[in-house]
Structure 1
Amino acid sequence: MKAVRVHEYGKPPTIDDIPEPTLQGPLDVLVKVDAAGVCRTDLHIIEGQWAEKSGVALPYVIGHENAGTVVEVGAAVGSVAVGDKVILHPLVTCGLCRACRAGDDVHCAGSEFPGIDRDGGMAELLRTSVRSCVRLEEGLEPADVAALADAGLTAYHAVRKAVPLLHPGADVVVIGAGGLGHIGLQCLVAMTAARVTVVDRSAEVLRKATALGAHRTVLSDGGQVEQVLELTDGDGAQVVLDFVGEHGTEKEGVAMTRNAGSYFVIGYGGRLDVPTIDIISREINVVGNLVGSYNDLDDLMTLAAMGSVRLSTQKYPLTDALTALDDLDGGRVPGGRAILTS
């Protein structure tokens, strides 16, 4: 089968012909990957940012946002069947550790992460676990939801944690309404009655944000902190969701957060440097966010089936994966997600 593999960090991946995966256990599921999302994390992997954390042996197949059709199941699988269309939770979890039993399977003690620490889904076939499979409702197609498996799941997870902090009329700021942020924006509109202000450097992205339900938009042109403070009567927002997390948004996000408010870090790549006296005197919270749980993904698919969350996508065939990665790196996928299709 064809697959996109990293052979050496710092160099472009290649499209290789490799053996097809096979079932290895009774709970395994083999999925024909109809759609795979292209994520900025894939760029970070290629750059080598994940080399130490993942410990993966090269070469290996990238791709952690996957949806497709079940083609084979293990002997103990009963909840999905051959022919089912599914979206895959990015983690393969054990189901037995304390975190899994508590519904916090994103912190499973024995998890594997296809596309991060083992072969992923930028390929024709992917081996995963039945515990990762969420069946798609009628009307949802793999190519339309694949990126929700990570980008959407991460955005939903952050918004779900922020919801109790956002009373009706509270101010929430979304920094960056591109691939992750435009999903988080829709989740906020669907799940809260807060006033949403979107900050982005692209006027086109801001226009799309308004169409998706943003109440106010601010162009990131150097005066964005002052504009946000002006819009919030000088106080800042109860919650700031930073979907960029680099190039200075870290400092700006904290400055946009009101006293006793919360700054959520979702995008990454930068560094947060806040004097501890500021954290104490202002009593602000800094909240980290990884991907969400299986239940988060199931909830997100409900929102997608209801039409409350839609992905803006740019589709490429699997054979054009290198072009898709280059377009993402070059900023040529504005306000949406690149999707590889079979």
Structure 2
Amino acid sequence: MEIALVGIGEIAKAQHIPSIAASPNWKLAATVSRFANLHDVPNFTDFDEMLSACPNIRVVSLCTPPVPRFNYALAALKAGRHVMLEKPPGATLSECQTLLDVAKDQGVTLFSTWHSREAVMVQSAKEWLAGAIVHDLQIIWKEDVRRWHPDQEWIWEPGGMGVLDPGINALSILTEILPDPIHIRAARLDVPEGRQTPIAAFLEFAHPHGATVTADLDWRQTGPQTWDIKAQTDKGTLHLSQGGAVLEINGAPVNAPHNHGEYLCLYTKMANLVAKGECDVDLAPLRHVADAFMLGHRATTDPFDW
């Protein structure tokens, strides 16, 4: 299938373009970007022009920041195109629900992707936790914003989510592997002076059986980066590290199954959804983020500059 890629930033260059090239299901037929282009693919600076000029492109993958993404997605769906959304799927829950309603009315596919769920050891962690009673679960997700989002001012604006932009990756894994329904009961958001979104956050979840579930998120960590989920259960301990790439059970490493990469898995899923005429829009991770902003106690911290 021919596909158009909208937004040629770092994530598109590092993940989407190589994954499309490696997939037998897709051919990159156009890009849309005001700032970048590929020398061997037609590039448009206007999204509506691309939709009009390329009627044979039936699928659009959106890699823009979340705030402007809604208008692109809505236009594509109304034009009868299937749409794949980079995480987070939108800036608000309401706009995501609107997109899903339009997709169903148009009879096209809408796929809200969560790439961290495709990390190689996530399903193994899910299977092990399915038969366990969780007593304590901690997310420790700490990285360097200057390394991963250099000079990207949109992350500090309303809708940019701040540290919850990478933190939502952890929440997407949590909502995939934890068998019990949880919700946020308290949050602390550390917001740099003069900015709109947090640079650090601490989330506390209510668990139906009284387990302690927390998430410690921070964008100020230099040196080695930390993407860990640790659980204490009646069966012992689980440690999922490196963003879901490494799993230890009771201190012993678990052999990793073969995996083609997170984004290649997402594009395979998208091809299957289009073939079946189905949508896949799981908003659970975004719901936790929205609740954190609703319940979160704001604390002003040191100013941040690049």
For the criterion TM > 0.5, the same-fold answer is no
TM-score, normalising length: structure 2 = 0.37
Higher relative contact order (CA 8 A, sep 6+): 2
TM-score, normalising length: structure 1 = 0.34
